[in-house]
Amino acid sequence: MERVLRGVGLAALAVMLVDAWRGAPAALPARTVAPGALAGVLATWPLGPETLTVVTDTALDGVTSAWLAARRDAGAPSRWGNRATPASAVALEPTLDPGGGVRALVAAPRGAVVQLGDSVGAIDSATVHRGGVVFTVASPVGRATARVNGSPARSHPPAVARPRAVIVLARAGWEAKFVTAALEERGWPVEVRLVVRPDTSVVQGSPARLDTSRVAVVVALDASAAPQAAALGAFVRSGGGLVLGPDAAMNAAFANLRAGATGPRQAPLSIAVAARDPRRALPLVPIVTLEPGAVALERRDATIAVAARRVSAGRVVQVGYDDSWRWRMTGPDGAREAHRRWWAALVASASPERLAQATFGGPAAVSTADAPLARMVADLGAPDPTLLSRSGGASPDPGPLGWWWGVLALAALLAEWASRRLRGVP
């Protein structure tokens, strides 16, 4: 029995040796080339019966992928593997801000370092924590490139935005004046109706025409907009945006639209406007209880200062801060720009996404995401996983049968050794 077991083990090892000797491929020519030179090498590589194996440590550009796809389509066997290109993608979309700018949305593995640049140079970098990172870029020049661990994904910026109007409804006063100024300076076309006395208003544009086809957002700062509450409700439900100032939110006419109930007005927490936290110097009408589905967008300490909710197809943003013009006028250097940005962001956040898509010229305006690894898979098919751990050449994989020969040899020799030990033979 022991002789049989030994024979089986040795026979299995012999079979594996023969297989290894027979399966070893002939030494194939192998070259290491720079990524940019690979297309040139492929152009002169013979269309022989031998399988062409390409192992890359960076994303292939479109020309190189096209060469490999052409060889495959011409019947020349080939396979490819990739060792270093992370699964990443970059897409650019316009910000909802006529002041310009795009958002670069980069998908990348957790922990990857993303470097964003454009045709001029580097713009910013960030480390990915949750599957991606978003950059806001004021005015990228040419094509934007996101390098994820050195591997580039590129995308062209979207078309220039053409925002629709913002309507400001308020009593004549400094807050209305400077909110309007901030939005106009940011590039929004603003129409206003500022009530000077009950029968007289200063009007700019056509603020009575509440139509989502031409108006993106209405800013109702105070109770002077209450007579239009019903019309504003219809405007929001049909897809418009509404920003409610504190005095408007306190008015019962807007109870069905506001993001939350208001509490007693709070005094400013600081006298001077500070650059770090300027809104502490503003009076606040806190939002004490949120409506179902509403979310807090900004808090001052534990108090909700800005909140938003969806109302049918539209969106309402409720602002608790009052007299924000004091921030712009009395704040430190840069206060005017900061006040402008903050109000532009509020208006943009009230503008529903689908309106923004239409505003900015339709789906074609949003560039298609560039995903290098996904594009290579689409062009070349799935990579060969056996190439992942090696730099190229033939596969060492013995195949499933080879593994069984090994198991058989090991089992037979162990059994023979155990039998001998049980008998007391060394």
Partner 1 sequence: MSAFTFCTVQYESGDWDSAPQVPANLIDSVARYTAIEVTPTGAIVALSSTDLLRYPLAYLTGHLPVRFSTAERDMLRTYLQRGGLLFVDDHNHDVDGVFSKSALEELARVTGAPLKSIPKTHELYRCFFNFPDGPPTTGHELNGWGDNLVHAELLASLRGDRISVLFSNKDYSSEWGYHPDNKRFQSVDNTRFGVNLVVYALTR
Q: How far is the CB of 252 from partner 1 (least distance, A)?
A: 18
Segment interacting with partner 1, rule: CB under 8 A, options 173-181, 253-261, 305-313, 392-400: 173-181
The verdict on 321 binding partner 1 (CB under 8 A) reads no
Instruction: Determine contact, residues 399/16, Cβ cutoff 8 Å.
Output: no
Cα torsion at 219, 225, 229, 235 (round to 10°)? -30
**Residue closer to partner 1 (CB basis): 221 or 305:** 221
* Spacing of C-alpha 244 from chain mean position: 29
Q: How far is the CB of 259 from partner 1 (least distance, A)?
A: 20
Instruction: Determine contact, residues 123/140, Cβ cutoff 8 Å.
Output: yes
Q: How far apart are CA 177 and CA 397, in angstroms?
A: 75
Q: Number of C-alpha atoms within 13 angstroms, CB side, residue 51? A: 13
Site for partner 1 in 98-127 (CB under 8 A): none
**Residue closer to partner 1 (CB basis): 33 or 202:** 202
**Residue closer to partner 1 (CB basis): 222 or 370:** 222
The verdict on 164 binding partner 1 (CB under 8 A) reads no
Q: How far is the CB of 334 from partner 1 (least distance, A)?
A: 11
**Residue closer to partner 1 (CB basis): 67 or 325:** 325
Q: Which of 66, 76, 87, 329 binds partner 1 (CB under 8 A)?
A: 329
- Coil, helix or strand at residue 406: helix
The verdict on 247 binding partner 1 (CB under 8 A) reads yes
The verdict on 325 binding partner 1 (CB under 8 A) reads yes
Structure tokens at 145: 């490139």
**Residue closer to partner 1 (CB basis): 47 or 203:** 203
Q: How far is the CB of 253 from partner 1 (least distance, A)?
A: 17
Residue found by looking up tokens 């897409």 in the block: 91
Q: Return the number of other C-beta atoms located less than 10 Å from residue 383's C-beta.
A: 20
CA distances from 204 to 1, 116, 178, 180, 218 (A): 105, 42, 15, 11, 14
Count of residues engaged in binding partner 1, rule: CB under 8 A: 29
Residue found by looking up tokens 């907009």 in the block: 225
Q: How far apart are CA 179 and CA 217, in angstroms?
A: 13
Site for partner 1 in 20-39 (CB under 8 A): none
Segment interacting with partner 1, rule: CB under 8 A, options 21-29, 91-99, 171-179, 383-391: 171-179
Instruction: Determine contact, residues 341/188, Cβ cutoff 8 Å.
Output: no
Both ends of the chain: CA-CA distance in Å? Answer: 16
The verdict on 391 binding partner 1 (CB under 8 A) reads no
**Residue closer to partner 1 (CB basis): 139 or 200:** 200
What is the contact surface with partner 1 in residues (CB under 8 A)?
Answer: 171-178, 181, 192, 194-198, 200, 202, 221-222, 247, 322-323, 325-326, 328-330, 335-336
